[in-house]
Amino acid sequence: MTLDIRLDGRTALITGGGSGLGLAVARLLHQQGAAVALVGRTRAKLEEAAERVAEGGDSPVLTVVADVTDDDAVTRAVRNVHEWQGRLDIVVNSAAPLLAVSPLADVDEAVVSDALSAKTVGYLRVARTALPLIEKGGTGRIINIAGMAAHVLVPNIGVAAAVNAAVVALTSYLAAEAAPQGVLVNGISPGMTLTQVWQDRHAATAEEKNVTPEQVRDVMVDNLGIRLGRWGRPEEIAAAALFLASDLSTYVTGQTLQVDGGLGKSVI
């Protein structure tokens, strides 16, 4: 058996594909030959993202406006993508809400409920709709992005921790249920990654404290004890998604890869 990183002839659906990690994953999968469908809530953002994705290769790119908190919208989106190329091979769940930093004891219950619906349950909505349609011949993949808060205790992000820990559990159970169909289900837990959202936050903090964004990042690296001594790049997280989407991962399922530069420090 020849193992290959190329994805020619395969179709990938990526939620949250209009920006951040979703966009980085979309660009890399497209560069490796996949037809890529970007799913998100804002048409203008998706269309701009589609132009950037299309720059990397000749495979087609589709944009689908849908909110992952809406069952009917998810069903329409997944079916639309499947009909577009006549197949669906790869699903990447990357859509996630922006959460304010706050002690867990001070968080309104509605915030927790909304976050679970937007991410954990949103991932489930997409996965359960995709599973009957996804290819069963060895190329079927579901990849869930579950932030490192699922594994690392960081002050004041308890909601994100609970939501992402639920995604890890969801990934494990979905993998067990999808295995008889030959569909692989895995997760990725990114560490501190320089998406545009974080760059904007660093710039705002830097202005407030009269320092540079680089200094803000360096302090966070020191405080968190990131072993590699730097923030990650979105394309480094995307590389893990490419591995899981490709033929290189044919014996990997039910796993959540911690791509975090050594932020997590579990012994086992």
Q: Look at residues 231, 244, 153 and name the one whose alpha carbon lies nearest to residue 197.
A: 231
Mean pLDDT of the chain: 96
pLDDT digits (tens, 9 = 90+) for 13-44: 999 999 999 999 999 999 999 999 999 999 99
Quick one: what percent of the chain has pLDDT higher than 90? 92
Q: Which residue has the higher pLDDT, 156 or 3?
A: 156
Q: What is the mean pLDDT of residues 223-249?
A: 97
Is a pLDDT exceeding 90 seen at residue 174? yes
Q: CB of 74 within 8 A of CB of 49? A: no
- Distance (Å, whole) CA 148 – CA 264: 8
Q: Check residue 1 and give its pLDDT.
A: 61
Q: Rg of the chain over CA atoms, in angstroms?
A: 18
- Distance (Å, whole) CA 247 – CA 41: 31
Is a pLDDT exceeding 70 seen at residue 78? yes
Is a pLDDT exceeding 70 seen at residue 96? yes
pLDDT digits (tens, 9 = 90+) for 102-122: 998 999 999 999 999 999 999
Placement of tokens 């959540």 in the chain: 256
CA angle 86, 120, 45 (to 5 degrees): 60
Is a pLDDT exceeding 90 seen at residue 188? yes
Q: Check residue 53 and give its pLDDT.
A: 98
Q: CB of 175 within 8 A of CB of 133? A: no
- 3-state DSSP call for residue 266? coil
- Distance (Å, whole) CA 185 – CA 172: 8
Q: Check residue 63 and give its pLDDT.
A: 98
DSSP character string of 130-145: HTTTS--SS--EEEEE
Element (H, E) at 28: helix 20-31
Taking the domains of the chain in order of start, what are their residue ranges?
Answer: 11-193+233-258, 195-231
Is a pLDDT exceeding 80 seen at residue 267? no
The answer regarding whether domain 11-193+233-258 maps to CATH 3.40.50.720 reads yes
Q: Look at residues 24, 34, 157 and name the one whose alpha carbon lies nearest to residue 97.
A: 157
Q: Check residue 99 and give its pLDDT.
A: 87
